[in-house]
Each structure stands twice: as structure tokens, then as C-alpha cells.
Amino acid sequence: VDVTVHPGQAKAISDLLLGIFFEDINYAADGGLYAELVQNRDFEYALDDKQGHDTSWHAKHSWKLEGANAQFTIETAQPIHPNNPNYAVLDFGAAGARLINSGFDGITLKKGQPYRFSVFTRALQGKPGKLQVKLVGKDGKELAAGTLPAPGNSWKDQTIIITPVADVADAQLELQPSGSGRIAIDMVSLFPQNTFKGRKNGLRADLAQVIADIHPKFVRFPGGCVAHGDGLGNIYRWKNAIGPLEARKPQRNLWGYHQTAGLGYFEYFQFCEDIGAAPVPVIAAGVPCQNSGVGGGGQQGGIPMDEMDAYIQDILDLVEYANGDVKTTWGKKRAEAGHPAPFNLKYIGIGNEDLISDVFEERFTMIFNAIKAKHPEISVIGTAGPASEGTDYEEGWGIATKLQVPLIDEHYYQPPGWFINNQDYYDRYDRTKSKVYLGEYAAHLPGRPVNLETALSEALYLTSLERNGDVVSMASYAPLLAKEGRTQWNPNLIYFNNTTVKPTVGYEVQKLYGIHAGDEYFPSTIKLSNNQDAVRKRVAVSVVRDSHTQDIIIKMVNLLPVPVVPTVNLQGITGISASRTVLKGNPDDKQLKPETISCSVTQAFDGGLPPYSFTIVRVKTK
């Protein structure tokens, strides 16, 4: 293949192109990225949380009582906060009974690392005495222990730091009062102290680091479908997900489990800042998923009109929470949470794959106009509508064009062949209309795992996104995370269990694009010795420059089963050194790592493009 680069025809492209999509699906948040180790810490699990009405899913889920002469009940009188109505009551005749939590598939502990245990307690009757806290292995071996002072007559939270003496993958937590009587217990929590960046109420360090390593330019949160919920009562309300943990409002996660909201809006903003990514919250457009019933005989529609002013005010308040001065109502709450400086919010998504009905359009228009009037500095991202087989988004684009919405969010999960055959998808887009945020995509064959073939078809397609980086401003693969044995959706970018993080080969492609991003696109002409359609579509090149480093980055994808030897004419660009990174293997390989070598510019293309490979040559020009 002959590649001729045309630096003279350079065009500016988005500097935000590659980001991440975070949704609490597949236990991505609770039991995943959120570092809390106690499952059902608030005793708020409810039968309705669980798909299929699994009767084991109730307020005592993950808890059990051991020992004689004792009772464990759930009560609701005088809770710590009305948003968190349930608490546990332990009624025991004498010391010996233990309340035990089994964690999320066990509690994983690291030897010598400090863990922060906290709990709210209240004495209800008798003298419950001091509370013994223990971490115990399956073999009954005590791994760490501490003692909390006897509870008083009103709710009080207490904290101790305990340090395990061994590495254990599946410990349990035991609470044992030392006296006799009745004690109320709530918000039982165990966190590693070494969360990502050491944040309190923070994130699991290894998982957060793997995400940070992508170098995402933005983070979309909290979904996906989680953002708009599957009914009016299930819409994600950001105000329920900030402030003291005991006052946050947990809710049913529409993927069939329970959402504590412990990983809430403050923590999302903090994570974005910690990894240098722009926050992109997505808020329901006043309608739940597919307007939850409209057209399907349902009755829910959207938020009633007489509640829309308050709903819109909530969205405006979010901007104040993120960016407002500490003297403003919501800016003050951010400061109270420990972050007086603004979070620099610039984008808000309104809607997620919604059915573009009258109900939607009416509400979207109201929200869009209100944000535009009060916060013209915020770019609204609209939705193109449900992901469809044919990726026909006419209706979503209709309203976006009418209102001149700055960006519009498209989603598509398609087989690898679709990505190979549609590399010209955005070449045809009208540059005068809304910019595109490709908010969810994956080369996706249901039931089939991510492999080199799917990853390379994404790499190929991403060259076309760079080429169209003047119209496609942002793109995020979806979904991001999945806990092994707890998935509702496959494939995903990163799998994990309690001890190990397992990035897929698709992750390596995302990471390479994240690391080797540019903000200027240099068109190139590609001539193949075999110009058959099927061959031509399996080789792609994209050349960008990073204006900060002045490096030229040449990405080359070869999805052919044979090597390709490139002759690259950089037309006057002189480099002083280069590096070559190659990701290669067999199409069915699931976990591969790229290899990088330093080389001279003249050697940079030696060795050609191996069969089934993604090659990046980065040329230093100064």
C-alpha cells in the first residue's frame, strides 16, 4: 500500500474524540468500581429490585444472624433519614450472636492495608454494650478486629480502622454486641483506605486505574438506560445521589439489582477531575425509557406538565452544583462535600435513546430552551433516538436540526461487517447541522466475546471517526465494565472480579486511540496494489497531529489475513525519532497486549503491517 499524507490540507478535529461511557450495568458501580465492600449496607434491598422477583432479594439480603438466643429483624420507625427507611435490629439475650455480611461474592482483603469500617448504631433497649467488629475468613480465622464504644440512645456513626493480617479473597464481616438488649444498626460500611487517589467514599483503585489508562477525554455517566429508567419513578434524579450517604436515595437498578447511589454525582465529577476528563452527565429528557409504554399500550408518558418546571429547575441546579460559586445554594453543597472549586461542566446530555414521540419532543424542547436561556455556556447533547438495525435516526435529527442542538447522541451495536462496510458513514454528514456524539457503539455479535476481529473492526471504524473529527466530536464504546458472573449485557470492554481486572483486546484499541489522540487531521491518499472492494475496506489509515507535542501519529489497521507493506510519504514532514506500536494476533484472540519499539523515522514502517494488526507510528518532530 502507498500512503501519501497531505499536511497542506490539515483540518482541525475534536480534541475530545475518545471518551468513556459509564453505566451501572453488570455490577459496574455497586460491587464494582465503587469500593464499598459491604453488600446491602443500608438494608434497602427490596423484592422489586430484582428481575423475576427472586424471593431471596429482600432487606436482609447478604446478611445472616448466627448464634443462639437472638433475633434479627428489619424496622422502619425513626430511621436515620427518610430516604433510607430500613435498618436492622438485633435483639439478643446475651453476648454471642453475630450479624454477618457476605459482601459482594465475598469480601476481598489485602494484608497490611488499612480498611475503614463505619456504622450507625442506636441502643433501643437494655445494654447492648460495645460492638465487636471482625473480618473472618471462610475457615473461621480472624483476619482483623476492632471494638466500637457502646451505642447511645440516638443514631450516631462510629468509625474504626482495621488492618487484615492476610490476603483473603472471600472473607466476611461480623458484628457482635458484647452486652444484652436491642440495638439498631444501619449504613454498615467497609472501605479500603487506598481507594483511587485516596478519595473517601472512593473507587476501587485497580479498576479506576485501568479506566484512567485509556486517557479518556470525557466520561459519560450515569448511563445508558440507567439515566432515564424504565418508568417515571425510576428516572435517575441527581439530587438523590449527592450529600451524606445516609441521606441519599437508593433505588431499583433497571438492570435487575439495587443501586445505593453511593457512587453518585459528586463522586462522578471527582473521578472526571482525577483523570483529567470532561464530565458529561446525561439526564432524562422528562421521559423514561421509550416513554415507558407510549405506543405499547402503556399509560406513563412523560413527567406531568405541572411538574416540568420543578424538573427543569433540577437540571439548572445541576449546573449550579457543578460550576456555581460557593455562595450559591448548590455551589455551597459542592463545597460542603469537599470541593469548593467548580467542576468545569461544559456538556449535558438530555435523553438517552428515547422514542422520539410528541411526549418526548415537548419535554426535550422545554428543557433545551431553559438551559440555552440560563446557561448558554453549556452545550446540550440531544438524542438521536433508539438504536435501530438500520441506524436510521431521522426523527431524532429532525428535532435536533429544528432546535439547533449543538450535539446529538447516536448509538449503534452492529456486527464487525457493518463497521467494515460503513467507514464512509460520517463522510456524508451535513457539516452545517448538529455535531455527533457517538455515545454507544461496539462491534457486537450477541453471545460472542470481544476478540481481535471485533477490536480491529472498531479500530478501522475509529480511523473514519478521526477523518470526520470535524463532525464527530465525541465517541464512547459501550458498555465499559462487567463483573464476571454478574452480567446482563455482553460483550463489554473490561471484565473484572473481586481480585482481578481483565481488559479485553477491544480495550487495548481504545487505549491506543486515547493515548495517541490528535487535534488536527492530515488527509492521506491510499493506493493498494489489489484494489478489490473487500481488500480495500480492510486496510485503513488515519494521520493526526497532536498540537501540544507536535507529534505526527499514523494509525494503520490491517484486517487482512496477509501482511501489507506500506510505503508512507510524509511529504516534507521531518521527524527526529519515532516509535512503532503493534497490536496483532489471530482474529479469535481475546487478550493481547500491544508492543512498542523506539526506532528511527526511516525504520518506522519496516516490518510492514502484520496480518490482523493495528499499528501506530508516532513521529516526534521536535
Site residues (CB under 6 A) for ligand AHR? Answer: 23, 25, 223-225, 352-353, 387, 411, 440, 478-479, 489
Shortest spacing between CB 479 and ligand AHR, in angstroms:
4
Whether the Cβ atoms of residue 159 and residue 127 lie closer than 8 Å to each other? no
Nearer to ligand AHR, 409 or 453 (CB): 409
Nearer to ligand AHR, 121 or 487 (CB): 487
Whether the Cβ atoms of residue 455 and residue 508 lie closer than 8 Å to each other? yes
Q: CA–CA separation, 125 vs 328, rounded Å? A: 44
| Host H or E run for residue 371 | helix 358-374
Interstrand relation of 20-21 and 218-221 (parallel, antiparallel or unpaired): parallel
Nearer to ligand AHR, 46 or 387 (CB): 387
Q: Which residue is nearest to ligand AHR (CB)?
A: 224
**Amino acid identity, residue 88?**
A
The whole-angstrom distance between residue 443's C-alpha and the CA centroid of its chain comes to: 19
Shortest spacing between CB 23 and ligand AHR, in angstroms:
5
Q: CA–CA separation, 472 vs 429, rounded Å? A: 10
Spatial CB neighbours of 466, under 8 Å, sequence gap ≥ 6: 13, 17, 518, 521, 542, 544, 555
What SS3 state is found at 263?
coil
Distances in Å between the Cα of 262 and the Cα atoms of 174, 254, 434 are 22, 17, 35
Nearer to ligand AHR, 118 or 476 (CB): 476
Q: ∠ CA 118-191-264 to the nearest 5 degrees?
A: 95
Supply φ then ψ for residue 348, to 5 degrees.
-135, 130
Q: CA–CA separation, 132 vs 124, rounded Å? A: 18
Active site residues: 353
Nearer to ligand AHR, 459 or 478 (CB): 478
Shortest spacing between CB 475 and ligand AHR, in angstroms:
14
DSSP single-letter state for residue 157: E
- Cell numbers representing residue 619 in the block: 513521529
End-to-end Cα spacing for the chain: 28
Q: If 0-12 CB within 10 Å is exposed, 13-18 middle and 19+ buried, where does residue 41 land?
A: buried
Shortest spacing between CB 161 and ligand AHR, in angstroms:
38
- Cell numbers representing residue 275 in the block: 483523570
Nearer to ligand AHR, 352 or 464 (CB): 352
Nearer to ligand AHR, 319 or 480 (CB): 480
With b for 16 or more beta-carbon neighbours within 10 A and e for fewer, the 453-473 pattern comes to: bbbbbbbbbbbbbbbbbebbb
Shortest spacing between CB 440 and ligand AHR, in angstroms:
5
Distances in Å between the Cα of 276 and the Cα atoms of 290, 473, 514 are 33, 17, 12
